C-alpha cells in the first residue's frame, strides 16, 4: 500500500519537475546571461534540493514501475514476495538518495 502511494507521489514530483527542467534547458540554450543564471540556480540550495528530489523520485518511480510490471505479469504475487520486493525498491531508493546527496554537495 505504501509503495503504491509513494509510486504515485514520485510520479507527481516528476511531473512537477518538468517545467523547472524546461526552464533550465531553455536557459542553457539561450543567451550567455541566461546560461549563467541557470547555472547559478542549479548551484543554489534550491536547485540542488530540486535536482536531488527529482533524481530520487526518478529512481524510485523506475524501480517500483518495474516491480508493478512484474506483478502484472504474474511474478512474485505472494504476500511475502510483495513485501520483499517493496523493501528492495525502498532500499534502492534510499541508496540512490545517499549517492545523489553526496554527488550534489
Residue 40, domain CATH: 1.20.1300.10
Per-residue confidence (pLDDT) for residue 38, from 0 to 100: 92
Q: Which residues have C-beta within 8 Å of that of residue 92, sequence separation ≥ 6?
A: 59, 60, 63
Per-residue confidence (pLDDT) for residue 1, from 0 to 100: 81
Task: Give me the domain span that covers residue 12.
Answer: 2-104
| Segment 18-40, tens digit of pLDDT | 999 999 999 889 899 999 999 99
- Which of 99, 22, 18 lies closest to 56 in space, CA to CA? 99
Per-residue confidence (pLDDT) for residue 76, from 0 to 100: 84
The pTM score is 0.91
Sign of CA dihedral 43, 15, 103, 91: positive
Domain count, the chain: 1
Residue 77 C-alpha cell reads as 504475487
Per-residue confidence (pLDDT) for residue 12, from 0 to 100: 97
Amino acid at each position: 500500500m505504501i509503495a503504491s502511494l509513494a509510486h504515485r507521489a514520485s510520479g507527481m514530483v516528476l511531473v512537477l519537475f518538468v517545467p523547472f527542467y524546461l526552464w533550465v534547458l531553455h536557459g542553457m540554450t539561450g543567451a550567455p546571461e541566461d546560461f549563467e543564471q541557470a547555472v547559478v540556480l542549479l548551484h543554489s540550495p534550491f536547485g540542488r534540493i530540486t535536482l536531488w528530489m527529482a533524481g530520487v523520485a526518478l529512481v524510485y518511480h523506475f524501480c517500483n514501475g518495474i516491480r508493478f510490471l512484474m506483478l502484472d505479469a504474474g511474478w512474485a504475487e505472494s504476500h511475502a514476495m510483495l513485501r520483499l520486493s517493496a523493501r528492495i525498491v525502498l532500499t534502492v531508493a534510499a541508496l540512490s538518495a545517499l549517492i545523489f546527496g553526496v554527488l550534489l554537495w
